[in-house]
Structure 1
Amino acid sequence: MIDHENNNRGLTDTHEALELAQKAELDLVVVSEGKDAPVAKILNYGKFQYQKKKRQKQSARPTLKEVRLRPNVGVADYNLRINQAIEWLSKGNSVKFVIRLRGREHQNRSHAGELLDRIATNLSPVGKVLSLDKRSLIVQVIPA
């Protein structure tokens, strides 16, 4: 048994453990079922359930990583972003590439579209293209 101050009390009678929990105005919760003896802990059960649910939501939710590029990005910077995206996709996150155009770059919009296609082909071994929007210059890739 573990008390409310995280001190290990060792093997304790169930009746005695319940009395200690009532004195502390907390609950006696079986944390893990052991082969020899179960591990019980004195704690606030409502708070315990809330934290457990919060951990489950946090681990179940995939995150979306966003990468912003310009159409005239250098080779080294492009390779760095692609390698980062491959790493994120292998961890289970989805990646969104956004190409920003400024000023006269709007005249060469086709160059940005080619860059989107190149991104999609480079990430195809590790991910699947969810959406490729050449009008708003966005490509979203999810893990394969």
Structure 2
Amino acid sequence: MVRRNFNSPRVRPEQPNINHRIKASQVLLIDHENTNRGVVDTRDAVAIAKEAGLDLVVVSEGKDTPVAKILDYGKHQYQQKKRQKQSAKPSMKEVKLRPNVDDADYGIRINRATEWLGKGNHVKFQVRLRGREHQHRDRARELLDRIVEDLKQVGKVQSLDTKSLIVQLVPES
């Protein structure tokens, strides 16, 4: 059983500088219409933001005066999380096959690759050989050619390596 130390202070996530949490006396204000209002007293900037029904958020900590923008903080936070998810999404999907793959399994892999290419992801097909399968490399090459032929409507070949039996497809632009 794990024992917790209740005496240590809890680590709270760092709260952003919003509205009255801004410690600077003056900020470079950019209003909700993206116009630069110049250097303004922080209290006045918060009042302007409240009047517009929005929040005053520090966008970047400057050397002298921080840059603050009037915007809807909840919407801003949502957009940031959305951007992080988009950048964290892996763009290369990988499918590993054997040269004697069944038609049903092959169809499933092709359908999945079609979906991925439709969503804008790159797809990498790799044919793996084991043991005596190395004697039939020509069957693996034929499988790669069949994959390229079946996916030519939704994707184009970025690279084809017949030695290591790998083909990379990118979405058709």
Q: TM-score, normalised by structure 2?
A: 0.58
Residue 24 of structure 1 is matched in structure 2 by: 21
CA distance in 1 between partners of 2:166 and 2:103 (Å): 20
The total of aligned residue pairs comes to 122
CA distance in 2 between partners of 1:91 and 1:103 (Å): 36
On the 8 A contact 1:29/1:45 being kept in 2, the answer is no
Q: Larger % of helix: which?
A: 1
| Equivalent runs, 1:81-120 vs 2, <5 Å | 81-120=109-148
For residue 54 of structure 1, report the CA deviation from its aligned partner: 8.3
CA distance in 2 between partners of 1:38 and 1:74 (Å): 63
Distance 1:137-1:31 versus aligned 2 partners, 3 A rule:
farther
Find the partner of 2:161 among 129, 133, 139. Answer: 133
| Equivalent runs, 1:49-68 vs 2, <5 Å | 52=80, 55=83, 58-59=86-87, 63-68=91-96
After superposition, the C-alpha distances for 1:34-87 in whole angstroms (9 at most, x for unaligned) are xxx8553134434979x8498179359770100000111110000000000000
Distance 1:40-1:96 versus aligned 2 partners, 3 A rule:
same
5+ residue gaps in structure 1? Answer: 6-19
After superposition, the C-alpha distances for 1:4-46 in whole angstroms (9 at most, x for unaligned) are x9xxxxxxxxxxxxxx93x42267976854xxx8553134434
CA distance in 2 between partners of 1:81 and 1:31 (Å): 51
Partner of 1:131: helix, strand, or coil? strand
Distance 1:29-1:105 versus aligned 2 partners, 3 A rule:
farther
CA distance in 2 between partners of 1:125 and 1:54 (Å): 30
Larger radius of gyration: 2
Alignment root-mean-square deviation, CA? 3.7
Give the % identical residues: 55
Residue 108 of structure 2 is matched in structure 1 by: 80
Q: TM-score, normalised by structure 1?
A: 0.68
Partner of 2:170: helix, strand, or coil? strand
